[in-house]
Amino acid sequence: MKKIFLVMSIFLFIAGCEKQNTSTENDLTELSAKSKSAKVDVCHNGKIININGNAVSAHQRHGDAVDMDGDGLFDIDNDCSATDCDDNDAGDCDNEQGTAELLVGTWTPTDINIKASVGAQSVPDYLVNEVGLSPEDAAAQYELLQDEFETQITEELIFNADNTYSSYFNGAYDYGRWSLSADEKILTLFEGPIPDIIIIAINSISEDTWDATTGGDFLRDLDNNPATIKVLVSVEGNVIFMKD
């Protein structure tokens, strides 16, 4: 994937305890409406236990997290102290997938939106102001440039659970390894035996969609005149990937 791919920014679904600020008063009111035999899942010392609804408040007081709505995610009580909440490893109980798990699979781009600029000017403005093209010719030249960059986005990106990946573009495969930053917001691809390093940040990711912002700096002969020097073009774009 020796092409533009990609400087990017990520928001993710991170495995671990989702410490939502839930209204304890409303939760307990809801539970009191149930019979005393109603069962509720509680994350107690990193393990899920199933208790009667009338015992929930006692568990909340020492920091246990409760799955009030049965969605598999455990909500920390507003009234528990920070120390109590930290001591209770509710993350071991949540069943939400993290970024690494969501990435595994095959992705293909479905929507690419490219923007390019030269310094503080957009490429069309640069072509009009500095090169002297008409607005119509500048727009046509910019469209060609966008098409060029769009064709360089990988057609297929496959992430494996062992942190290897492959990409497919224009009939050829590239291979490498991938890793995530500690906060799971930055994805780094190490491509090839002498690796090209590709930094990717994901705006959002779900089980079947990945939204990323792409970019890079490239020397281009925008006026198609070999007698003039190439200029540094900054490219930024948005790419939507769909999981196959």
Per-residue pLDDT 10s for the chain (244 aa) are 544 443 332 222 222 333 333 444 454 445 444 445 578 888 877 678 888 878 888 777 777 778 777 766 666 544 444 334 434 445 556 656 788 889 999 999 999 999 999 999 999 999 999 999 999 999 999 999 998 888 877 789 999 999 999 998 767 788 999 999 888 888 898 988 777 888 888 889 988 999 988 778 999 998 778 888 899 999 998 899 999 8
CATH number of the domain enclosing 105? 2.40.128
Q: Do 231 and 193 sit in the same domain of this protein? A: yes
Q: Is residue 6 part of a domain?
A: no
Distance CA 153, CA 148 (A): 10
Strand 196-205 versus strand 105-118 pairing type: unpaired
0.85 cut: is pTM over it? Answer: no
Q: Is residue 2 part of a domain?
A: no
Q: Find the domain containing 144 and state its range.
A: 100-243
Q: Is residue 15 part of a domain?
A: no
Q: Do 160 and 141 sit in the same domain of this protein? A: yes
Q: Is residue 71 part of a domain?
A: yes
Which of 34, 62, 92 finishes a domain? 92
If one counts the domains in the chain, the total is 2
Q: Which residue has the tokens 């939502």?
A: 20
Q: Do 81 and 122 sit in the same domain of this protein? A: no
Query: Over the stretch 177-190, which tens digit does the pLDDT of each residue have?
Result: 999 988 888 889 89
Q: Is residue 76 part of a domain?
A: yes
Compute the C-alpha angle 2/218/109, nearest 5°: 50
Q: Give me the amino acid identity at 18.
A: E
